Chain A
């Protein structure tokens, strides 16, 4: 009962105190976080690979490691993060009301979220698209054959809107069944309430493993939307916006210059000026952001570079075995491209 009320409570709190704590006069988000000694990070609590606490309450996932990277850059301690599990429905209100400092929860970057919601997306950390999963015995080979099908979907997502758009533009009849939680939607699909389940393709890899018999299901080839997933911060604090944005770029640059957890101390001795600027052995680019000189050193030391984070949580080092695809670096056939640190 409480869970379903969370959205309400959050929203009401927001109604009374929107941003009252978000930006107390004069205190920047960075100052607030430092004073608190802890980064409050809005995360997904249900999606293996992106954000999920294990039985001991240790959080793991791609987005989770982004939270840790920010904490590492600020505190030189990747454990100083308080994870707040948010549903798709609650997430923006939680960020707007100041409940979390940053929202990193496989959230799609769209124009209305950037403007109308008073938020800023800081840069695509995962290029995704929406797909469908169906039972093999339905003998469906394409999403275009799904007319009249029941589709289970999570509420409050771009997924819900794309689904209606896709069926409408292909003149197919849709029977959607909408749930507040991903798990509930998935369970309904698993019990046969729906013919298909739709979510971001990355999530489909992960939720498929949660089904009673994963091998009885197949992901359809169509990707029906662009879903650039990005961290979000509130409007009105450019310094904080820059920090979250540049933590992402630092992770990408570190991978591009082959700076890894393992070879980090060797790379500190490198003569390559790009690497020297990145690791802070030359210039003070970290201090310009409000951090320290060795901010990238801290991030890579404690969390790793983009590639390491990806492989550990989603790629070959994980049960999901997601390929890099679009998320490979631009030098390796993908579209992940970071501006230089200089």
Chain B
């Protein structure tokens, strides 16, 4: 539109409220929210109506009923005659958390090693790590799982030809059986000693750090910390008499009784998840390390830092901010992938709760809703923890 620049300045036109960007934004958001609410209400209403019309029982009352089925691995007390479906839920959840937690630790350690090895100057080491990543990453996880399960099962001798382990353990195709200390005096002195050890180790680390900053001299850190954590529980155990009595596994007619038992299903799932996820973590670590300019290594070398020190003090702190977000994704993947346990009969949450419980009670809507909510909570909690760690260790930049 042309306007006579010399003419009298026209009064600023009063803009219609409709053109106020903030109001429009709010309107759009309100409309979207209303749409989502309507959609959600429609779904809930539809489900409730259809369930009622087909006379399918609904509600969460079933959680208090007796479960009546057996579970092969239970971290808490569970019996098919007295425990409820709610108890079965907790058993399944703990089994999921156990395999996911241990899997994350193992995958991180292995992934870190392989990721660093891929950047090694040693041709053989670098290529071996490269081959590991290429092979493992390109095979579906389910095949890994079946491979490990069948490899574990088939390679081990059957129960009557069990391998004897030094110290009174057994290994056969039913699992690994180890002597277990009987906690007659109660486990709490050990727990207390362990907690005290952790605190002491943390204090030592802070003190060593202060000394380094003040005087420029180092105290050893890793070994003393390990000693602080490991020694007090052992002393407490010896002092309180725990460990004086051990429960040894005994070969029975069919199975091993007594002692501690590690199921082959658990081992297969843990190994497959760790090895598979480690390949992805290795690539994340490699990308992170490569994101730090070469100049940083050179500068660290010029300052006289050894290679290990340069990695620990200069490279990794800078690589960490690149590594952590994709690493979080891998942790979430590992946790969610643990649901493949159904294929090999490991009693995780999906197998026990969204499997047997769903089938016995037939309450698909309730069971699936609970299961989805649990995985959501686990994933969000993992993300929150990783974000907190990221924020805490972020580089302070000017």
| Chain A residues proximal to chain B, CB less than 8 Å | 1, 3-4, 7-8, 11-12, 14-20, 22-23, 88-89, 92-93, 96, 112-113, 115-118, 138, 146-150, 152, 155-157, 160-161, 163-165, 167-168, 174-180, 184-185, 188, 191-193, 195, 234-236
Contact with A along B348-379 (1 / 0, CB 8 A): 00110011101111101101110000000000
Q: Is the CB of A184 within 8 A of B355?
A: no
Residues of chain B within 8 A (CB-CB) of A234 are: 54
Q: Is the CB of B72 within 8 A of A146?
A: no
Residues of chain B within 8 A (CB-CB) of A14 are: 364-365
Q: Is the CB of B255 within 8 A of A175?
A: yes
Q: With an 8 A cutoff between CB atoms, is B50 at the interface?
A: yes
Evaluate whether A164 and B70 lie within 8 angstroms (CB atoms) in the complex, with A180-B351, A191-B173 already known: yes
Residues of chain B within 8 A (CB-CB) of A116 are: 56-57, 361-362
Q: Which of B173, B339, B362 lies in contact with A113, CB distance below 8 A?
A: B362
Q: Is the CB of A18 within 8 A of B47?
A: yes
Complex Cα–Cα for A193 and B56 (A):
38
Residues of chain A within 8 A (CB-CB) of B46 are: 16-17, 20
Q: Is the CB of A177 within 8 A of B72?
A: yes
Residues of chain B within 8 A (CB-CB) of A115 are: 55, 57
Nearest A residue to B261, CB-CB: A175
| A-B interface, 6 closest residue pairs, ranked by CB to CB distance from nearest | A156-B359, A118-B56, A117-B362, A118-B54, A164-B80, A149-B254
Q: Which of B141, B150, B252, B354 lies in contact with A7, CB distance below 8 A?
A: B354
Q: Is the CB of A15 within 8 A of B369?
A: yes
Evaluate whether A18 and B142 lie within 8 angstroms (CB atoms) in the complex, with A92-B359, A193-B173 already known: no
Known: A11-B358, A88-B359. 15 other contacts (CB 8 A): A1-B142, A4-B339, A7-B358, A19-B50, A19-B51, A113-B362, A118-B51, A118-B57, A148-B253, A148-B257, A155-B359, A156-B356, A157-B359, A164-B81, A235-B54
Residues of chain A within 8 A (CB-CB) of B298 are: none
Evaluate whether A16 and B43 lie within 8 angstroms (CB atoms) in the complex, with A89-B358, A193-B153 already known: yes
Evaluate whether A4 and B343 lie within 8 angstroms (CB atoms) in the complex, with A149-B254, A188-B153, A191-B150 already known: yes
Nearest A residue to B372, CB-CB: A12
Q: With an 8 A cutoff between CB atoms, is B264 at the interface?
A: yes
Residues of chain B within 8 A (CB-CB) of A157 are: 359
Complex Cα–Cα for A117 and B53 (A):
12
Evaluate whether A177 and B54 lie within 8 angstroms (CB atoms) in the complex, with A1-B140, A8-B354 already known: no
Residues of chain B within 8 A (CB-CB) of A156 are: 355-356, 358-360
Q: Which of B252, B264, B354, B362 lies in contact with A193, CB distance below 8 A?
A: B264
Q: Which of B221-259 contact A (CB under 8 A)?
A: 252-255, 257
Residues of chain B within 8 A (CB-CB) of A175 are: 70, 72, 255
Main secondary structure of the interface of B (DSSP, over half): helix
Q: Which of B257, B264, B368 lies in contact with A8, CB distance below 8 A?
A: B368
Contact with A along B52-79 (1 / 0, CB 8 A): 0111110000000000111110000000
Complex Cα–Cα for A188 and B174 (A):
11
Q: Is the CB of B69 within 8 A of A160?
A: yes
Complex Cα–Cα for A252 and B348 (A):
45
Nearest A residue to B158, CB-CB: A192
| Chain B residues proximal to chain A, CB less than 8 Å | 43, 46-47, 50-51, 53-57, 68-72, 80-81, 140-142, 150, 153-154, 158-159, 173-174, 252-255, 257, 264-265, 339-340, 342-345, 347, 350-351, 354-356, 358-362, 364-365, 367-369
Residues of chain A within 8 A (CB-CB) of B50 are: 17-20, 22
Complex Cα–Cα for A20 and B355 (A):
23
Residues of chain A within 8 A (CB-CB) of B368 are: 8, 11-12, 15
Q: Is the CB of B54 within 8 A of A164?
A: no
Distance in angstroms from A193 CB to nearest chain B CB is 6
Residues of chain B within 8 A (CB-CB) of A147 are: 254
Distance in angstroms from B259 CB to nearest chain A CB is 14
Q: Is the CB of B360 within 8 A of A18?
A: no
Residues of chain B within 8 A (CB-CB) of A112 are: 362
Q: Which of B56, B70, B342 lies in contact with A4, CB distance below 8 A?
A: B342
Residues of chain B within 8 A (CB-CB) of A117 are: 56, 362
Evaluate whether A164 and B69 lie within 8 angstroms (CB atoms) in the complex, with A180-B343, A185-B345, A192-B153 already known: yes
Q: Is the CB of B345 within 8 A of A178?
A: yes
Evaluate whether A92 and B81 lie within 8 angstroms (CB atoms) in the complex, with A15-B368, A18-B47, A188-B153 already known: no
Nearest A residue to B350, CB-CB: A8
Q: Is the CB of B345 within 8 A of A188?
A: yes
Distance in angstroms from B16 CB to nearest chain A CB is 41
Complex Cα–Cα for A315 and B154 (A):
35
Complex Cα–Cα for A4 and B358 (A):
15
Most buried by A among B56, B140, B142, B255: B56
Q: Is the CB of A118 within 8 A of B55?
A: yes
Complex Cα–Cα for A156 and B43 (A):
27
Complex Cα–Cα for A11 and B153 (A):
32
Residues of chain B within 8 A (CB-CB) of A161 are: 68-69, 360
Complex Cα–Cα for A155 and B340 (A):
15
